[in-house]
Amino acid sequence: MAESTRTEHGTGGEQTELRRVMGPGLLLLFIVGDVLGTGIYALTGQVADQVGGIVWAPFLVAFLVALVTAFSYLELVTKYPRAAGAALYTHKAFGVHFLTFLVAFAVMSSGITSASTAARAFAANAASVFGLELGEGIGITLIGLGFMGLVALVNMRGVGESVKANVVLTCVELTGLLIVIGIGMWAIGVGEGDVSRVTQADTGDMSLLGGVIAATGLAFFAMVGFEDSVNMAEECKDPRRIFPKVLLTGLALTGVIYVLVSVSAITLVPADRLSEGDTPLLQVVEAGAPGFPLGLFGVITMFAVANSALINMLMASRLVYGMSREGVLPPLLGRVHPDRRTPTVAILFTTALAFGLITFVGAVPDLGGTTALLLLLVFTVVNIAVLVLRRDPVDADHFRTPTVLPVVGALACAFLATPWAGRPVVQYQIAGVLLAIGVLLWGVTVLVGRRAGRGTPELDPERLAD
């Protein structure tokens, strides 16, 4: 949510546009930086635990599913180049306000679970960097809570999205992954490690296909983030022209990086060791380059996951604020700080939810898997919306994806969101609790509104990004 770039409403009630400052280069860095981060840094070992040496396969399948869905987003963002994303597309396609609300709240919830995953990963890496013997219990939880509290304080001070800062953070995240790839390729070149592991599958009691599918549901977390770029459509120069090439290039780059990181990791560290703990890539660096300063790599990792947490909590709090302002959540959540002009109560609300997830869930795979689950549900709706909105022509040239791709995307995303894809029950429980909280707040708002004679609130998704 680009809170810092939208101007005030004019005196006549008109609304000015966002400043178009992003060309192809900055947009590419935004996309790559948004996709890179916590997923590959924290979940490589957990994916290896499910499939063994073919850890690269789930990341490749997740990339293909994300790519198919990206084609749907491309048609929609070039058709409706406005900053509201999935909520806007759902609203235009189906016109059901409650469904629009659920999609918006699911996106918000995915941001909180993603940030909570990052907080756990941050805590684990901090323990490794500073040599803290905290185990898997209260120590990691306390560091995660402290980190999330710090994110909330930064959020309170009014930190908005900054394209220039994103360039720096993206370079830091990318540097860490290139270090892993470089160490892996060097080890392979000098005959160290065991390249044969990349073809050795170990899916336990599951079939090979079943194991890869189950691991893909988790690996998909590493590929999310590209969908956030559509919220920058109003700040891009000529979005209808540049978005298709830039988004597909960004996804291709991240897909290649993830596969190379996975191959490097499994070449240097066996799957059973890689799956131990929440710092798999630190193990890879230590095994492949014992002389490399592990503290430096740990700091890079902490920086990468911290960036993911801040971006997601900014997004989540602004969505809650926007829904409150639209009258579909209690007005209290729409209050802002009189001086900072930040959505104080929304920040406290989303931070409280993150605290609960870090304290009572904690495990990185469960939080990361829940993020993927929520976004797979959203992506299913978006893929269907593409087909429905073919009945709504616009007077402008726009990207048109082959019809088969949204169909494949909807089926693939819907399947990966079901228990048949090997998804643990706990992820449905976490997602269900989060969505139930949203529905409860929506119900309270509707009830209060009806008693006040205002009727059922109608959500305008285009104003969520204001």
Evaluate whether 20 touches 240 at the Cβ level (below 8 Å): no
Residue 326 is predicted with a pLDDT of: 79
Name the phi and psi angles at 428, rounded to 5: -65, -35
* Residue 317: φ, ψ to 5°: -65, -35
The torsion angles phi and psi of 393, rounded to 5 degrees, stand at: -70, 150
CATH fold group of domain 24-465 = Amino acid/polyamine transporter I (1.20.1740)
Q: What does the pLDDT profile of the chain (466 residues) look like in tens digits?
A: 333 334 444 434 444 344 555 678 878 877 887 788 777 887 898 899 999 999 999 999 999 999 999 999 999 988 987 766 788 899 899 988 889 899 989 999 998 999 998 898 888 888 877 777 655 568 888 999 999 999 898 888 754 444 455 567 778 888 999 999 999 999 888 888 899 999 999 998 899 999 999 999 889 988 888 877 776 666 677 777 888 899 999 999 999 999 999 999 999 999 999 988 778 888 999 999 888 888 888 888 888 888 788 888 888 888 888 888 878 888 888 888 887 677 889 999 999 999 999 998 867 778 888 999 999 999 999 999 999 999 988 888 889 999 999 999 999 999 999 999 989 999 999 999 999 999 999 888 888 878 777 766 777 777 665 5
Q: Where are the domains of the chain?
A: 24-465
**Residue 396 is encoded by which pair of tokens?**
């402008």
The one-letter code for the residue type at 295 is G
> How far apart are the C-alpha atoms of 410 and 278, rounded to whole Å?
32
Give the per-residue pLDDT at 133. 66
Q: 3-state DSSP call for residue 121?
A: helix
How far apart, in whole angstroms, are the C-alpha atoms of residue 42 and residue 368? 9
Q: Output the pLDDT for position 2.
A: 38
Half-sphere exposure of 145 (CA within 13 A, CB side): 16
Q: What is the pLDDT of residue 11?
A: 39
Dihedrals phi, psi of 15, to nearest 5 degrees: -120, 125
Q: In the structure encoding, which two tokens stand for residue 146, read together?
A: 């402290």
Please state at what angle helix 239-268 crosses helix 24-35, rounded to 10 degrees: 40
- Reading the block at residue 268, the tokens are 């240097």
Report d(CA 84, CA 87) in Å as an integer: 6
pLDDT at 7: 41
Q: Is the dihedral of CA 81, 86, 91, 94 positive or negative?
A: positive
Q: Label residues 440-450 b or e (16+ Cβ within 10 Å = b).
A: ebbeebbeeee
d(CA 183, CA 261): 10
Q: Which of 359, 364, 316 is nearest to 125 (CA)?
A: 364
pLDDT score, position 1: 37
The residues, any chain, with a CB within 8 Å of residue 174's CB and separated by 6 or more, are 32, 33, 36, 257
